[in-house]
Amino acid sequence: MDIGVLLVLNIVTSDQRHYVDRDWLKGYLTFSFQDYYDEENNDFGNLLVFNEEILSPGKGFNMHPTHYMEVITYVLDGELAHFDNVSNQTTHVSAGEFQILHAGDGIEHSEKNASKEYPLKFLQFWFSPNNYENKAGYDKLSVDKEKAANCLYKIFGKDDGLCHIRQDVSFYLSVLDSGKSLEYNPSEGRKTFVFLLDGKLDINRHILNSKDSARTKDSEKLLIKALEKSEFFLIDIN
């Protein structure tokens, strides 16, 4: 397939992310976050934070407040224990599951590694909300990955998907078999962010390896081909 002129893809390889080591917490930061600041890499549209984090056994974040943020957590390995003052209960999130924290006008919560033996690995995506008067809330989501086979399977959306997010975002999961390809056509003025969980992709002749990300502000067609079996997220952002 002729894809014409190459898109301008900003690719961040896994080893180009900023690494943080606080003994009990290790993290790989794609954008500016807390003590780390990169004036040219603060955010991408309404995606403000994207971190990969590793918590030591039994460690975590004690109760703390969050306001005006939509926080999606995806567990890569292990089990996360979440508690908040809205539900007043502990929820366990296992590998392959999502949680979304609708911080709204304020919520206090904790996230900890439920295991005393094994590390917890997870991803976090922080989006600005579409309304600063929303009330706080929480959702947990399990996904049948077979439904993401060789397609873009919408997990989160403003008005659709398996779970709503309070922002104009479409969040997809795909599991592409080796040699399979798909196209994505963003609407005019939209941005696209791709994170490769595992595998190897060719996106418009740009190669992504495991834990690499790519982003583009061009409203042009993306041709995504799996050079080996690959699992990735694609986020359409306002």
In a domain, 126, yes or no: yes
Are 106 and 163 in a shared domain? no
In this prediction, residue 6 carries a pLDDT of: 57
In a domain, 84, yes or no: yes
pLDDT block averages, 10 residues each, the chain of length 238: 61 97 97 92 95 98 97 98 95 98 96 98 97 92 97 96 96 98 94 98 96 90 96 96
Partners of residue 49 on adjacent β-strands: 126
Q: Which two tokens stand for residue 22?
A: 């606080």
Which residue among 110, 142, 174 closes a domain? Answer: 142
β-pairing verdict for 153-157 and 163-164: parallel
CA distance 141 to 177: 24
| Half-sphere exposure in the Cβ direction for 191 (13 Å, CA) | 15
Q: 7 lies in a domain?
A: no
Q: Which of 142, 174, 207 is the last residue of a domain?
A: 142
Identity at 123, one-letter amino acid code: L
User: Taking Cα atoms as reference points, which of 151, 235, 155 lies closest to residue 190?
Assistant: 235
Measuring CA to CA, which residue among 55, 95, 103 is closest to residue 79? 95
Regarding whether 188 and 134 lie in a shared domain, the answer is: no
CA distance 51 to 27: 7
Q: Does residue 20 lie in a domain region? A: yes
Residue with tokens 């080996």: 228
The number of folded domains in the chain is 2
pTM as predicted: 0.95
Q: 22: phi > 0 → left, psi -120 to 50 → alpha, else beta; which?
A: alpha
Which tokens belong to 198? Answer: 């595992």
* Token pair listed for 206: 């740009």
Residues 149 and 120 grouped into a single domain:
no
Q: In what order do the strands lie in the sheet with 137-142?
A: 18-21, 25-29, 47-55, 120-127, 70-77, 97-102, 137-142
Domain boundaries, position 230:
145-237
Q: Do 194 and 107 reside in the same domain of the chain? A: no
How far apart CA 103 and CA 100 sit, in angstroms, is 9
Look-up: residue for tokens 């991408």? 44
Parallel, antiparallel, or unpaired: how do β-strands 163-164 and 97-102 relate?
unpaired
CB of 14 closer than 8 Å to CB of 199: no
Q: What is the pLDDT of residue 177?
A: 98
On whether the CB atoms of residues 109 and 83 are closer than 8 A, the answer is: yes
CATH of the domain at 52: 2.60.120.10
Q: What is the DSSP string of 106-157?
A: -EEEEEEE--SSS-EEEEEEEE--S-TTPPPEEEEEE--GGGGBTS-EEEEE
pLDDT at 40: 84
